[in-house]
Structure 1
Amino acid sequence: MRLGIISALHEEQQGLMEAMQGATTLSHGMRDYTLGLLWNIDAVCVLSRIGKVAAAMTATLLVEKFGVTHIVFTGVAGSGDKLVKVGDIVVAEALLQHDMDARPLFPRFEVPLTGLQRFASDLPLSEQLAGAADDFLRSDARLVLDPLEIQAFGLQQPRVHRGLIASGDQFIGSAAHVNQLKAAIPDLLAVEMEGAAVAQVCFELGVPYAVMRTVSDNANEEAAVDFMRFVQSVASRYAFGTIRNLCWRLAS
């Protein structure tokens, strides 16, 4: 196994580079790929930047140039369901592009010439990722989070959810918009800007993948408030702890 770990923002991989043994960094396509051992797993960490095209290019290069055999995407998302709260983790069972609409040639959300609206994540890898996330929330979260941040963001009882994540090249920042998406996609759990692009690339290249998203906001008018504070003080610790637990699971 060579595990590719993608994040859109630097803060979402905070600490991973430092934890990597024998790290070397190679630059290609305006991205830095850091290779080494993460808790005894051969890994490559890279920042994709934001958006579907950036994420698709990054995933493709991980496979074609760096020989990655499995991909995990970590990052943040807006809630797409009332039961999914800030500080919860969503591990994707499937992903779709909510801004894909080639009607009347193809049904809404269907990626043309694939016959698919939804791309299923790899079940074994996703189960390992969800278990790693659950271990982190139950055993480690309160040890690594500042009590003031737990209080500020209401992180008293975070949960792991499994289900559908939707991606699009839009920051969802209005309740009306997320309600429209929910009406069209009733089982939607979270919205973000990269995962479904990685999913399509991995589907077409035959590479197992999983996506983890820490819910940073409710995708409404308050979505941008304290966003970077949450990424730096909460989501970065979620990602580090979960990836560490995942590597331990994969290496055992």
Structure 2
Amino acid sequence: MNNRLLLFFLLVSHFTLAQHYKPRPITGLLGAFGAEVALVKESLKKPKTVIVDGISFTTGRIGKQRVVVAETGIGKVNAAMTTALMLDHFRPQRVLFTGIAGGTNPDLQPGDIVIAGRTAHHDYGSITDKNTPTRQTRNAITKQFNPVYFPADSTLMRLAETVVKTVPLEGIPLASGGVSDRTVKVMTGTVVTGDVFVASPDKVRSLRTDFGADATEMEGAAVAQVCYQIQVPHLIIRSLSDRADAEAHIAYDKFYPTAARNSAKLVIAIVRAL
């Protein structure tokens, strides 16, 4: 096949794929587990539960926007499955993910927020005999390689960066029982995903060196990959529950309720601003 025919084939395939997905006027909201989606569900007006292949989806309104909310479950396979079911059954115009993460950027603390400008799988790839890593997934629809980093929708990202300035985020609980008066830091950065809870300074350094990671979690890139391949705008929001170090389990138990609420508050504010 010459280059002209190949280009024509790719353009036709892209056009056909773009025409295949018919979005409806509804926004998809996802979170990995109950605490991450509870606040979102509580904000819904006229909620209604719909079961799709055993997965519970809750429809309703936030402000003027129709939304559908679901808990994906922990891990990449669960996240991809729930995202695919949501896209197939509800056909949302866009997908937002709210949740917690471990911080890998040394400038960030528990409670801070990373708006994912891009996401990547940190546990996907192969090592050749030359020790050269290959990290690109392959698009099951086009059969082409995906990018290593899945870019967030630029419009949603800019909206999040603007809206977050008006959201009253909670301070971090202190050991004394009080609350830190330190301002919650918000940045747009890189979130990496793998089927592992990271609690290792060595792994944190590796993720920082290899991917430029600001946070690590277990679902974001799976959601991003499904949305990228179906061409649905997406944005991942993560609030840090720990620093993914040796004390991560202790910090997680202490900080995740606050982190989950801060992430959910931002996602709700974004939806209201659409």
Q: TM-score, normalised by structure 2?
A: 0.82
Q: Which residue in 1 is equivalent to 2:117?
A: 93
Instruction: Determine the C-alpha separation between the residues in 2 that align with 1:149 and 1:45.
Output: 34
3-state SS of paired residue (2:105): coil
1:106-185 correspondence runs (5 A) = 107-112=133-138, 113-136=144-167, 140-142=168-170, 154=180, 156-185=182-211
Instruction: Determine the C-alpha separation between the residues in 2 that align with 1:132 and 1:153.
Output: 24
Q: Which residue in 1 is equivalent to 2:63?
A: 39
3-state SS of paired residue (2:90): coil
How much does 1:176 deviate? Answer: 1.1
Give RMSD over aligned pairs: 2.2
How much does 1:214 deviate? Answer: 0.1
Q: How many residues align?
A: 243
1:184-223 correspondence runs (5 A) = 184-185=210-211, 187-223=212-248
How much does 1:115 deviate? Answer: 4.2
Instruction: Determine the C-alpha separation between the residues in 2 that align with 1:182 and 1:153.
Output: 29
How much does 1:107 deviate? Answer: 4.2
How much does 1:230 deviate? Answer: 2.1
Identical columns (%): 28
Residues 120-139 of structure 1: per-residue CA shift (max 9 Å, x gap): 11000111123233321xxx
How much does 1:182 deviate? Answer: 1.7
Instruction: Determine the C-alpha separation between the residues in 1 that align with 2:254 and 2:173.
Output: 14
Instruction: Determine the C-alpha separation between the residues in 2 that align with 1:248 and 1:31.
Output: 26
How much does 1:149 deviate? Answer: 7.9
Q: TM-score, normalised by structure 1?
A: 0.88
How much does 1:82 deviate? Answer: 0.8
Residues 45-87 of structure 1: per-residue CA shift (max 9 Å, x gap): 0000100111111111111111211000010111111112211
In structure 2, do the counterparts of structure 1 residues 25 and 72 end up closer, same or farther at CA, with 3 Å as the change threshold? same
Checking the alignment, whether the CA contact within 8 Å between 2:191 and 2:213 is kept in structure 1 is yes
3-state SS of paired residue (1:42): strand
Q: Is structure 2 residue 261 aligned with structure 1 residue 230?
A: no
Q: Which residue in 1 is equivalent to 2:28?
A: 4
Instruction: Determine the C-alpha separation between the residues in 2 that align with 1:130 and 1:225.
Output: 30
In structure 2, do the counterparts of structure 1 residues 59 and 115 end up closer, same or farther at CA, with 3 Å as the change threshold? closer
| Aligned residue identity for 1:188 | A
In structure 2, do the counterparts of structure 1 residues 148 and 180 end up closer, same or farther at CA, with 3 Å as the change threshold? closer
Gaps of 5+ in 1: none
Q: Which residue in 2 is equivalent to 1:22?
A: 46
In structure 2, do the counterparts of structure 1 residues 172 and 208 end up closer, same or farther at CA, with 3 Å as the change threshold? same
In structure 2, do the counterparts of structure 1 residues 30 and 89 end up closer, same or farther at CA, with 3 Å as the change threshold? same
Checking the alignment, whether the CA contact within 8 Å between 1:132 and 1:243 is kept in structure 2 is no
Gaps of 5+ in 2: 1-24, 139-143
Instruction: Determine the C-alpha separation between the residues in 2 that align with 1:116 and 1:21.
Output: 38
Checking the alignment, whether the CA contact within 8 Å between 1:86 and 1:154 is kept in structure 2 is no
Instruction: Determine the C-alpha separation between the residues in 1 that align with 2:48 and 2:175.
Output: 34
